[in-house]
Amino acid sequence: MIEAKGCVEGLDTEWVKLILEAKRLGISKEEIREFLNSNSYKQASS
């Protein structure tokens, strides 16, 4: 991975760490996507 100024290939390193931690805890990619999609919809509605 290429890291530059807090980004990994255009992604915020904090997000990458959160996703990796979730996967380590056994949360599937599908569950992560569902969570992000449902919460982005809630934010857009607010």
Helix, strand, coil: what percent of the chain each, to 5? 65, 15, 25
Q: 11-21 pLDDT, tens per residue?
A: 788 888 898 99
Containing structural domain, residue 15 = 3-45
Give the global pTM: 0.57
The arithmetic mean of pLDDT across residues 27-45, rounded, is: 84
How many domains does the chain divide into?
A: 1
* pLDDT on residue 5: 54
In a 3-state reduction of DSSP, which class is residue 31?
A: helix
* pLDDT on residue 34: 93
